[in-house]
Amino acid sequence: MNTDLDNLLSRLRTEPIHPGVADIEEAVFSRIAARPYVSTAVQLRFGVVAAFGAVLLGFASNGFTPPAEASITLAPFGPSNPLAPSTLLAGLR
């Protein structure tokens, strides 16, 4: 199996172009033109509904979480840092 990229690209360059490639641009533009038009008012209505749903989802996700517990303040150079290597390696004593 030939996997040299330069050889593969040179073979691809010398291959004749597929006849369907010439018509693909017109086919794409005709499909774009055939799409139904959505008015600005409908787009705005969907945007407002989506924003309202996002706000409701935010309130709902925040309302069902347990209250946060007070965390230990971690001072990087403090003597009582529970994550210091000396305390982690010493284990429970």
pLDDT, one tens digit per residue, over 5-64 is 888 888 888 988 888 887 888 888 998 888 888 889 999 999 999 999 999 998 888 877
Q: What does the radius of gyration of the chain's CA atoms come to, in whole angstroms?
A: 31
Start-to-end CA span in the chain (Å): 64
Quote the distance between the C-alpha of residue 35 and its chain's center. 27
Q: Model's pTM, two decimal places?
A: 0.39
Neighbouring residues of 75: CB distance < 8 A, sequence distance ≥ 6: 81
Number of helices (H), then strands (E), belonging to the chain: the values are 4, 0
